[in-house]
Structure formats: structure tokens, C-alpha cells
Structure 1
Amino acid sequence: MNREHAPASRQPPSADGALCGPQAGLGLRALLKMDRHNMSWVRYPSRVSLAVEDVIAAQSVISRCMHVYIAVCVPLSLGIGLFSLSVFIRDRTRLGVLDRLLAGLTATSILVTLLSLNAAGRPDYLPTTNLGCGVLSFFSNACYFMAQYLQGAMLLLSFLPGSPCCRLLAKPVASLAAIGGCAVCSSLIVVSLLGTFGELHTTTLCQADPLTAWPEYEIVKFSLGFALALSFQMVLFLLYATQPVWRVAPAQRDTASGHWVVLAIALNMFACRLFFNAVLLHRAQLKLWKDVGSPRDELLMNLAELALSGESCVNVVVILFLHTPCRLRLLGLLEHLTQRCRQRLDNGMSLNRVGG
């Protein structure tokens, strides 16, 4: 037998006392694991790249996109979101199950918009400590999972109102608490993979998904927030096609008219999160390859984060214009304002006539 392939148990210890055989194999695996979790080499490409023109071009694009988002999407999301939330609060005694889920999604969208303001200074990143960055990441991920789980509950309630699982949603307060608890637990699992707990007071450049997180961070977030939800939706549509008894069960008043708003929200979230998770997995791949990436990779991650924030703006717009109670309240407000303007105009014309 060749000496290179001799059994490990027959290898003698080295001259300097280092372990050989199984002990050396365990030590090597431990070193490889530590090396995979060592993110001290990670840098933003814009900070280390020698392609100055590419860096300037990428920063120009993200800066312009961020200006548009801050000027258009943020006021629109906050204004429409607060209006819709006020409608749900005023009608709280008459809200159905779907109405309460939409109210929860509206509140989540408002919080996402407020949290997205941390990126207002892009292409510069938020300077803070690892502790502050972890708190930001926790709340951002909690909203991320909350919106995804609310969407799954709304799809189930709208398309399979007679399924046994819908009985769990019969108590809206309990169901919202359960969904929120799942979102918080998922966020805690993801944040535990940041790998910065030993250096909480170290200064860092922060974003909602920290660059220096372990590669497992991106993989687990993809699994819990997108792959799991997509698998659930595929099973849901399969049951919708094969279980006509669940499909034709008597629907509640709010679910009977809520199919379009739920479907529009589902399509919007799928499109935004597909792009975001594709870029997120690409970043994890770069980390596993020990590659900091290019300015284009950094630009894609910033755009993906912006698309995820813009998702909330589109959701509140969809709820306002497609959900019947919100749309009727908006039309009533517009009609009231129109009547007030006409009364002022008529009073002004009558005074002019009297004066003439």
C-alpha cells in the first residue's frame, strides 16, 4: 500500500509534537469552519476596487434611485398607509378576518418604509456599532417575515376558505399574534447568524442585511423567507385545483371581494422578492468563494434592497385602490372635498353678484 494512503491510525506524531491522524483531521475541519466564519476580509467593493470609473458609475445610479425613492415612494407610502390604517381603525368593530390581515400588512409596510430611511444617504452606508446594526437587522427581518407570512395567510383565506387551516384564522387577534410570533422567531434565527456577538461595540458600516454576516445568514433568510413561502404557495394552488369542496365553501363578506387585492399583493411580493433573494444568494456565493465582488455586485445589492422597500409602497397603493372599504372611504373623502370646493365657489360668485 502506498504510504500516502496508509490508514490514519498508523501515522506517528510529528517531531514537534503536533497531532496526526484523526486528531489532525478534526483540527483541520475546525480551522476550515473558523475560516469560513471569519468575515474580517469582507469589504465593500466601492472601498477597495481599483476600477474607479465603475465605482463612480455605480454610486451615481444608486444615488439617483435613492433620491427618487425618498422623494416619491416614502411620502406616498406613509401618506396612503396612514390613511388606510385609519380606515381600518375606524371600522375595527366591523372588520372581518381578511380586513385585519390587510391592516397588519399596512402597519408592517409603514414600519418598513420608516426603517428604509437608514439608506437615505446611499451610496454612503450608515456608520454605527455592531449592536446597532444588529437591532436594525432584527426589525427589518421581522417586518420581512411578517409581510411574507401575512401574505400566505391571506392567500389561504381567499382561495381555500373551507380548508381546515382556515379555522385557525377564525380568531383574527390570535392569528395575528401567532404570525407575529413566527416572524420574530424567524428574525431571531437569522440575526443569530450575523457573527458579531463578540464585537457588539465595534464600529461598522451598516445596512439592513449586513455585509459581514456569515454566508449562512443569506442562505437561511432565503430558505425561511422565500423558498418556504414559495413551496407553501405551490401546495396551496395544488389544493385549490384538487379540492373543490374547500374552494366552494361559503366565503365571508370581506373575503368574497378580496381576491383581487390578495392576488395583486402576491404578484408584487413575488416579483420584488425574487430579485432580492437572487442577489442575496449571489452575495453568499461570493463570500464562500472569498471574493469581495465588483462595484456592479454592490450596486445590485443596493437596488435589491431598494426594490424590497418599494414593495411596501406598492402594497399600500394596492390596498387603497383595490380593497373595497378603503376605496369607498377615499371616494367619499374626494366627494366631500369636491362639495366643499363647490360651495365656496358658489358663495364667492353670489357675493360678486351682490357687490356688482
Structure 2
Amino acid sequence: MTFHNMTWIGYPSKNLAFTSPEEIEAFIASQNIISRLMHCYIALFVPTGLIAGICILIIFIKNYLQYKVMENLDLFLLHFTISNIIMIFLSFTVITRPDYLKATCLACNVLSFFFNFSYFNSQYVLILMLLVLLLERFPPRTVLGQGTYRPMLCVGFAFCLALTGAVLVGTDNYQLETDCQLDPLFAWPEYEIVKFTFGFGIPSFLQILCFTVLLAKAAPPDAPALQQHFRTYPAVYIINITIFICRLFYNVMILFRTTLKLQKSIGTPENELVMNIAEIVLFCESCASLVFILCFHKPCKDEILHVIHNCQRRNAASNHLEIPVTTPIHESGSQ
């Protein structure tokens, strides 16, 4: 339990004693990098991600009201979209960078709970999507394989994991003000270990397993070709690859922060810089995933193309309006 006393921990940028001009210059450079990345994310990725997310919600709701039914894949993508929109709103906590959001430990823990809930939910909904596509290509022969998979399974599991994370943040000094990140610095080391294991380790293993079966197992004779299968569901596979790459970087830094805690070290400004970059990359992934769904998921892509086509047709019609020409009446002179 000695590692559960986290009162000693702090950010390197808040505990620096500069001994040379080079250290001051390095510190200023790292702060500038964080600030510029934050402004780039807020100015470019946040509006793009939110607009894409809102368009996806409108398209799915419109299609449901029109056809009164929603396919499993669309239902999973709807839950995935909502989770990512929540993560984008929570990412506004980086606006204060290179400084940190000031909040009580209790408020920081509440923010962390909602962040982890969206984080775990989006990860496991994505696994269910892969499983559904895998079972579509390789029809199951057992009753268990023919079962119905619901996003609520992911919601319940994500809630339990987020609640576990909230407990592992720690239960002391909730009333004190602190520098807050969505993954609190003052959390117990077990917090990062649980988050890495259930938020990246196990899901990544399942992703790799699904891809291995998909690529290595021979499909039934009546199944479409593998290239055709990828072209039919490109959005799911693209966001799987994007999430794996971005969350790999993020989770490596989470584990590195755990090793520093176990060594009773606050690290260096460079460590803090890379951790901040990893956090912003994670938020960029949430925005990019929504754009990929809008551009590559067939119902969304078809609706966008339909809207663009209608706009072009209206513009063409307005440009070809016939303007009536009145013939001037000439007065005839008396002869």
C-alpha cells in the first residue's frame, strides 16, 4: 500500500528548479509545442469531428425514421459515434495547455469516469463490430455463434470498468484542488495497469485474432472474395487500424508513467511533453474516426453524395433560368 500514497507526485513543469539557460530554453520549447498542438487540435480536429458526428447521427436517425429498422452494424456505429462525441467534448479540458485544468480531486475523478466510460465503450463496440463482420463471412454452425450481439453488453462492461478506474484513482483528499487530466496524475499505479490491460491489451489481442481469422481462414464457397468484403465494410477496418495505432502510442505512455510512479519519480519535462502529445493524438483519433465513418460507411457516404448531387442540380438549374426579353415598341412616324 506504500504506492497508494500519491501526495508526493506532481508535474515536472510545476517542480522545476532551473540550473542553466539550456534547461530554461528546453522548457520553453516543450511548452510551445504543447500549446501549438492544442491550438491545432481545437481549430481543426474538433470542428471537423463534431460536424462529422452530428451528420452521422442525423443520417442514422433519418434512415431509422424512414425504414423503421436499423441494421446491427449501423446500431454499433451509432453507439461508437456517441462515445466519440462525448470524448471530443471532454477533450476541451486541454484548452488550458500547457497549463492544466484546475479542479477538485472529486471533480477530476468524475471527469475521468465519463472519459473512461466512453473510452472503454468505443473500444469494445468496435470489437463487436469486427465479430459481426467475421460471423457474416464465416456463418456459425452453433447456437452460441448465432446469438444476437447488442451494444448494451459493451455499455454495461464499460460502466463496470470505468467504475473500477474511479475507485483506483484513490479516495483521499477529494476536497483539495489539483491539476487535472482526464487520466489523473495522482491515480494509483493500478489505475494505469487496469486501463492498459482492459482498454488496450485485451481488445488489441481480440482485434489481431479477428484479423488473423479473416485473412488466414478459408471462406465458404458462396462467400464473396476477401477484397470485396473489405470494400463492402471499409469504415470498420479503417477505424480499427486507426484506433490501434493511436491508442498504442497512448497506452505505451500510460505504462511508462506507471513505471515512474513505482520508481517514485516525477520524470522530466520531456516525459510530460510526450504524454501530452499522446493525449492529444488520442483525441485526434476520436475526430478522425467519425470522419472515416462519414466518408466510407455506405449509408452515410450515399446520403452525403445525394445531398451534394441535389445542391449541384439546384445550382445548375438556377444558372440556366431563362430571363424573359421584352421587345421594345418603336413609334412609327407619320408618312
Give the TM-score band, short-chain normalised: 0.7 to 0.9
Q: How does 1:319-334 map to 2 (within 5 A)?
A: 319-334=293-308
* Counterpart check, 1:159 vs 2:134: yes
Q: How does 1:212-223 map to 2 (within 5 A)?
A: 212-223=186-197
Quote the offset at 1:234 in angstroms. Answer: 3.1
* Counterpart check, 1:204 vs 2:183: no
| Identical counterparts, % of pairs | 38
* Counterpart check, 1:350 vs 2:323: yes
1:10 equivalent in structure 2: none
- Which piece of structure 1 moves more, 106-115 or 60-69? 106-115
Quote the offset at 1:233 in angstroms. Answer: 2.2
TM-score (norm 1): 0.82
Does the CA-based 8 Å contact 2:294-2:300 persist in structure 1?
A: yes
- Which piece of structure 1 moves more, 63-72 or 333-342? 333-342
Q: How does 1:161-200 map to 2 (within 5 A)?
A: 161=136, 162-163=139-140, 167-168=146-147, 170=148, 175-195=150-170, 197-200=171-174
Measure the CA separation in 2 of the matches of 1:67 and 1:287.
30
* Counterpart check, 1:44 vs 2:45: no
2:108 to 119, 133, 149: 133
AA partner of residue 123 (structure 2): Q
Q: How does 1:46-85 map to 2 (within 5 A)?
A: 46-49=13-16, 50=18, 51-85=23-57
Instruction: Choose between structure 1 and 2: higher helix proportion.
Output: 1
2:63 to 75, 87, 91: 91
Does the CA-based 8 Å contact 2:230-2:237 persist in structure 1?
A: no
Please tell me the root mean square deviation across aligned C-alpha atoms, in Å.
Answer: 2.4
1:269 equivalent in structure 2: 243
Cα gap change, 1:247/1:182 in structure 2, threshold over 3 Å: closer, same or farther? farther
Quote the offset at 1:176 in angstroms. Answer: 1.3
AA partner of residue 39 (structure 1): M
Measure the CA separation in 2 of the matches of 1:109 and 1:101.
12
2:332 equivalent in structure 1: none
Q: How does 1:309-328 map to 2 (within 5 A)?
A: 309-328=283-302
Quote the offset at 1:316 in angstroms. Answer: 0.8
1:144 equivalent in structure 2: 119
Higher RCO by CA contacts (8 Å cutoff, separation 6 or greater) = 2
3-state SS of the aligned residue for 1:127? strand
3-state SS of the aligned residue for 1:212? coil
AA partner of residue 104 (structure 1): H
Measure the CA separation in 1 of the matches of 2:252 and 2:126.
20
2:81 to 106, 109, 122: 106
5+ residue gaps in structure 1?
1-32
5+ residue gaps in structure 2?
329-335
Measure the CA separation in 2 of the matches of 1:200 and 1:291.
23
AA partner of residue 54 (structure 1): A
Cα gap change, 1:148/1:330 in structure 2, threshold over 3 Å: closer, same or farther? same
1:26 equivalent in structure 2: none
Measure the CA separation in 1 of the matches of 2:299 and 2:327.
45
Give per-residue Cα distances to partners, 1:56-89, cap 9 Å, x unaligned.
1111001001101100100000001100111111
TM-score (norm 2): 0.87
AA partner of residue 79 (structure 2): G
Cα gap change, 1:328/1:258 in structure 2, threshold over 3 Å: closer, same or farther? same
Quote the offset at 1:55 in angstroms. Answer: 1.8
Measure the CA separation in 1 of the matches of 2:109 and 2:28.
29
Does the CA-based 8 Å contact 2:233-2:297 persist in structure 1?
A: no
3-state SS of the aligned residue for 1:198? coil
Measure the CA separation in 2 of the matches of 1:335 and 1:296.
50
1:292 equivalent in structure 2: 266
Does the CA-based 8 Å contact 2:76-2:125 persist in structure 1?
A: yes
